[in-house]
Amino acid sequence: MTEELDLTGQDSDAGSEEVVLTPAELIERLEQAWMNEKFAPDLLESKSEIVECVMEQLDHMEENLRRAKKGDLKVSIHRMEMERIRYVLSSYLRCRLMKIEKFFPHILEKEKTPHEGELSSLSPEELVFAKQYMANTETYLRNVALKHMPPNLQTVDLLRSVPKPDLDSYVFLRVKERQENILVEPETDEQR
């Protein structure tokens, strides 16, 4: 577990740089992405590079465990650690899919018109899923309900029908290092 992994990231100059992470740092980043996604009201930026690296690391660990002695205590401890990592990874991906299913029209609309400097919040696979989910939802609504409605009511605007993420909801956060000069704006009567 002392080997280092390469994680390719994008910097602000639109070039690519290699970030070298140890497996422990990689798992720490996965856990941080998982907690951030879990407590954020909206879909956050995709961490597909971290997911791919963790999956490669799990495959590598599985190969190493196949070669290890059967009945060794270290093997069972490593298997438990692998299951813990798999749980965090699958929970992170389930959380993202749940948000995509819940807010799919708004997420797809946001993907159509990206703002300057804003990265895509969906991985390519998630984008395909979101588009298929939207097409399936529209087909289902049309076949089950809309075709039985009067002609003037046979259309539905999913952007208005599906609730938006509540970006004004409270979130939990933890400050990891000391911060100076933080300005908190006072609440107005509307914000209370």
**pLDDT given at position 86:** 96
- List the domains of the chain with CATH numbers: 23-161 (1.20.58.1030)
Selected residue with higher pLDDT from 18 and 100: 100
pLDDT, average across residues 56-65: 91
Interval 131-153: pLDDT, tens? 999 999 989 988 888 888 888 77
Q: How confident is the model at residue 64 (pLDDT cuts 50, 70, 90)?
A: confident
**pLDDT given at position 163:** 81
pTM: 0.77
Query: CA–CA distance from 1 to each of 22, 53, 61, 67, 133 (Å)?
Result: 8, 14, 9, 15, 39
Selected residue with higher pLDDT from 168 and 63: 63
Residue with tokens 């465990």: 65
